[in-house]
Amino acid sequence: MRVAIAFILLCAAGVGARADDRPLKAAAERSLAFHQQQLELHPDSAAVHFAYAEFLADHGEMRAAVAHLRTAQMIDPLNAAIANSLGGVYLRMGRAALSAEQFQRAVTSASEVAAYHYNLGNVEFLLRHDLTAAWQIETPALLQKALAEYREASRLSPQNMEYARGYAETFYGLPDPNWTGAEAACEHVLSLSPPGVLANLQLAWVSLNLGQQADARPFPAQIH
């Protein structure tokens, strides 16, 4: 499900261009000139390189964005936002291992930020086939790492539905999941969206795997 959503969002990014985009082009040229001017005035500023890289990435210039993010990171190596942005650019370029490396760096620098844990978990879960080869790690161990990141993201931001669902859905991929943990995760998703169809189905599935057939029966009846 998360793969499909990510694909739809990426496709949607190129939809909706205006018939006459000259005002947008003019605005982009002004922004480009501004960033270049700032770079000339402050060539050693991590913030200036970071802002320019964000502009470049927004306009599809990924390689140039990476160059400026790398420069910003050399100037300010402990900046978690720079690492997170670099991880996102690498992800858009299809560089799974480099993306995960930067998201891990963001988590290490700012472990209290839920979004960084979620981003790392997404790469480890969605691109696990690429990472198992790159990291020489078995898939179950990588899925456990992803589960831990989703769990931490949900713990740090307990009202975030996306984080809660990411954590709950990851149990599906584990060869030998902790069913008690899966049950608690599904109940948390249900608490955030009481009429949720998916959470009720998940709870029924978890109860069956716990050997609680009687407990599983009420959940499908609650689906509207």
pLDDT tens digits, 105-143: 999 999 999 999 999 999 999 999 999 999 999 999 999
pTM: 0.76
Q: Is the pLDDT of residue 95 over 90?
A: yes
What is the structure's pLDDT at 23? 60
The helix-helix angle for 161-170 and 179-192 (nearest 10°) equals 150
C-alpha torsion angle, residues 171, 208, 1, 121 (rounded to 10): -10
Q: Phi then psi for 61, rounded to 5 degrees?
A: -95, 75
Which of 45, 69, 39 has its CA nearest to residue 57?
A: 69
Question: Per-residue confidence at 9, pLDDT binned at 50, 70, 90?
Answer: very low
Tokens of 181: 């943990």
- Contacts made by residues 166-175, CB under 8 angstroms, sequence distance 24+: 166/2, 166/118, 166/121, 166/122, 166/125, 168/199, 168/202, 169/1, 169/2, 169/202, 170/121, 170/125, 170/143, 170/146, 171/147, 171/206, 173/125, 173/143, 174/140, 174/143, 174/144, 174/147, 175/140
Q: Is the pLDDT of residue 5 over 80?
A: no
Q: Phi then psi for 210, rounded to 5 degrees?
A: -85, 0
Query: What is the length of the chain?
Result: 224
